[in-house]
Amino acid sequence: MAPLGRAALLVAFGCLAYAALAGGYAALRRRKRLALSARNALLAGFGATAIATAVLVAALLRHDFTFTYVAEHTSVGLPARYRLSALWGGQEGSLLFWLLVLTGYSSIAVLAARRAGQDLLAWVVPILGTIGAFFAFLVVAIASPFHTQMAPPDGLGLTPSLQNPYMLIHPPMLYLGYVGLSVPFAFAMATLLARRGDEMWIVVTRRWTLLAWAFLGVGQLLGAHWAYVEVGWGGYYAWDPVENAALMPWLAATAFLHSVMIQEKRGMLKVWNMLLVVLAFCLAIFGDFLTRSGVINSIHSFAQGKVGPWLLGFICAVTAGSLALVFARLPMLRARTRLESLVSREATFLYNNLLLVALCLTILWGVAFPLLSEAVRGQTVTIARPYYDFFLRVFGLPLLLLMGIGPLVAWRRASLRALGNAFLGPALLAVATGIALIALGAGSSRPGLIAYTFSVFVLASIALEFVRGTRARRSLAGGSWPTAFGSLVARNRRRYGGYVVHAAVVLLAIGVAGSSAYQTVREQRLRPGQSMEVAGYTIAFQGTTEGQSSNARELRTHLLLSRGDRSLGTIAPGKNYYPAERSSSNEVAIRHSYLTLEDVYVIADQIDAKGGGVYFKVLVKPLVNLIWLAGGVFVLGSLITLWPDAREERRLAARYRAEGALVRV
């Protein structure tokens, strides 16, 4: 079946290249049938990519080791679910999956953009076609997943750390996020190419941006949880360049989601928004580069890829082309209104944007500097955790505070009296909490204390917004409190969904501060029968056992956990040994407390299976489970924001009635 896969990819490349070239010519010369033809070629590109992907998935599931990719990333003993996830577990397969998501998104975007004018859509097709053709070229010519060989008796297997349920969902989520940023980028550039000064591109891509941003956010949290339970070093985020690769476009997209509201409401920041869209898209491709180029030695990255120079060249070309286009259209992007006051909602959005972009660029510098140093001076430089932690505090804590200030400030201008009234309650509550925390001993970490105090301020201001809004809604329309609350959220989903997302970020901040600033770590070698004390817990080592799964030898230690006189049960950290992969993995044991949201996290190392000693590292992490709870709240807030609003649809339909003529097949 490999020839079918290769042929399908060639067809996909041909279709996408045609969509790029013919679409570009059609948009330039205003040829309607050619533009439709290019759009259809984009759809055909998706169909052909789907066939190629189906061929590879079938080969993975059938253990067809004549496919080099299958032999290099699976083994006979690998469970079926991980054979499926091997699609994105290796360089070539992940690029094919990227192309599948890209062409799928592109097809839906051009079909669903009902409101977009013909001239705008005519430019969107060649832009998406160009991006698609580039990735199709990579899988056709540089890193094909359809190379064949004489079938070996067994494959090399999948990296053990990737044999985890989170690997079934975390990478696809990230890809949906990374690739989703192509759509707003394509519409933004198409707006400039079509010389349109209106905001239709923002309306059409609003949900796409939110969707991509939400997928990136959820993908990162899932990745953090995977690192926490599987990688086994006791943390969830290590500022690894590949982790940062997903964080950077998310920060840029977060800034864009805020600043685009200023453009919608005030007609300002048009150039800034264009630059943010370009930045988010380029950072998404940069993330792809970091993962696949082989320049970064990380557990997340694919070893020594050949695609690195191509991706780097593409990023440079996209950045240069986009900036040149924005520069050429500057007169069209000039704002007609100005910021009325530095104390207004739009001003807080502006401050938030500056902090988000500063944080994003600081992380980018932390990632890029070692690469540049090695490339230019031949010196290996490592930028370690303290650099990132420092800038997270410098930019992150004011950002947290702004999340509380923003909702309390009115648009356009706010008087000091109104501000005083709005701030009094949340500020008093935050100060009281800070004092109480100092009294309870939380003053040992100043950043932690500040984060907690700011978090209380933000949560109080969000709660106040909901209460005041519900009361106002009730006074307007009457009805019960729950009805008024439902009506309030339904009438302004972006605002109140956004507040729920802010609440998720606060929970995340509390969880991060608690689990890092206030964690307790203890390491000790124990023999069976011995025990150790950590932060009020007693851990007694009982012995070791050995088992066998389909593809691994499993060594487990058994520990009895108790707190005071109360037994909390047995936990079993250990190690797995994978003969096919010639590798081992830490299998940590975590005991969650659903009451205090605290975890006892145990790593077992240097295990002597014959009854000797074992080296244990125990971490007690307060409030760490708030981080995962934040994920649920984040999804809820994103869903509220994304949920279609019939009133808004009617309003936009009225606005774009004149643009109703659609491009049809």
Is 7 a binder of other proteins (CB under 8 A)?
yes
Q: Please report the DSSP string for 477-501 in residue order.
A: H-S-HHHHHHHHHHHTHHHHHHHHH
Interacting residue with other proteins among 17, 44, 561, 623 (CB under 8 A) = 44
Q: How far apart are CA 2 and CA 495, in angstroms?
A: 50
Q: In angstroms, what is the minimal distance from the CB of 412 to other proteins?
A: 6
Please report how close the Cβ of residue 503 comes to other proteins at its closest, in angstroms: 19
Closest CA to 296 of 134, 236, 288: 288
Question: Of 410, 450, 590, 609, which one interacts with other proteins (CB under 8 A)?
Answer: 410
Interaction between residue 647 and other proteins (CB under 8 A): yes
- Per CB under 8 A, the list member of 77, 84, 104, 118 interacting with other proteins is 118
Residues 350-409 that bind other proteins (CB under 8 A): 408-409
Contact with other proteins (CB under 8 A) among 376, 440, 595, 661: 661
Furthest CA-CA distance within the chain: 82
- Tokens 């996909």, residue located: 12
| Nearest partner of 101 among 112, 88, 91, judged by Cα | 88
Name which position in 119, 230, 587, 598 contacts other proteins (CB under 8 A): 119
Kindly tell me which residue out of 17, 20, 24, 26 binds other proteins, with binding defined by CB under 8 A. Answer: 26
Given 99, 422, 504, 513, the residue binding other proteins (CB under 8 A): 422
Considering only 17, 36, 78, 218, the residue that binds other proteins (CB under 8 A) is 36
* Residue 280 near residue 181 (C-beta atoms within 8 A): yes
Q: Considering the rule CB under 8 A, would residue 47 count as an interface residue with other proteins?
A: yes
- Binds other proteins (CB under 8 A): choice among 280, 414, 508, 627: 414
Residue 8, interface with other proteins (CB under 8 A)? yes
The residue (of 207 and 655) whose beta carbon lies closer to other proteins is: 655
Tokens of 648: 């808004």
Find the binder of other proteins among 17, 20, 27, 278 (CB under 8 A): 27
Type of residue numbered 510: I
DSSP E strands, 361-491: none
Cα(80)–Cα(329) distance, rounded to whole angstroms?
A: 52
Q: Which residue from 81, 111, 198, 549 is in contact with other proteins, where contact means CB under 8 A?
A: 198
Work out whether 11 is an interface residue with other proteins (CB under 8 A).
yes
Segment lying near other proteins (by CB under 8 A), choices 292-300, 508-516, 616-624, 648-656: 648-656
Q: How many whole angstroms separate alpha carbon 251 and alpha carbon 66? A: 42
CB of 145 to other proteins, least distance (A): 15
Question: What residues numbered 498-557 form the site for other proteins, per CB under 8 A?
Answer: none
Among all chains, which residue has been given the structure tokens 């050619």? 34
* Alpha carbon distances (Å) from 308 to 12, 177, 638: 22, 21, 34
Per rule CB under 8 A, is residue 147 in the interface with other proteins?
no
149, 304, 415, 570: which one binds other proteins (CB under 8 A): 415
For residue 75, give Cα distances in angstroms to 80, 549, 578, 592: 10, 14, 11, 34
Q: At what angle do helices 270-292 and 308-328 cross, to 10 degrees?
A: 170
471 binds other proteins (CB under 8 A): yes
Q: How far is the CB of 384 from other proteins (least distance, A)?
A: 44
Is residue 364 within 8 Å of 356, Cβ to Cβ? no
Quick check: 48 binds other proteins (CB under 8 A)? Answer: yes
Are the C-beta atoms of 505 and 630 separated by less than 8 Å? yes
| 3 state DSSP class of 441 | coil
Choice between 225 and 471, CB closer to other proteins: 471
Closest CB 229 distance from other proteins, rounded Å: 41
Our CB check for other proteins shows the closer of 44 and 210 to be: 44
Q: Does 51 bind other proteins (CB under 8 A)?
A: yes
Distance CA 432, CA 427 (A): 9
- Compute CA distances 343 → 263, 398, 404, 469, whole Å: 18, 16, 14, 21
Look up residue 114 and give its amino acid.
Answer: R
Select the residue interacting with other proteins from 149, 304, 421, 570 (CB under 8 A).
421
Dihedral, CA atoms, 614, 531, 593, 639, nearest 10 degrees? -20
- Looking at the Cβ atoms of 34 and 169, the one nearer to other proteins is 34
How many chain residues interact with other proteins (CB under 8 A)? 72
Asked if residue 43 binds other proteins (CB under 8 A), the reply is yes
Instruction: Name which of residues 223 to 282 contact other proteins (CB under 8 A).
Output: 264-267
Q: How far apart are CA 68 and CA 131, in angstroms?
A: 27
Which residues from 435-454 bind other proteins, rule CB under 8 A?
none
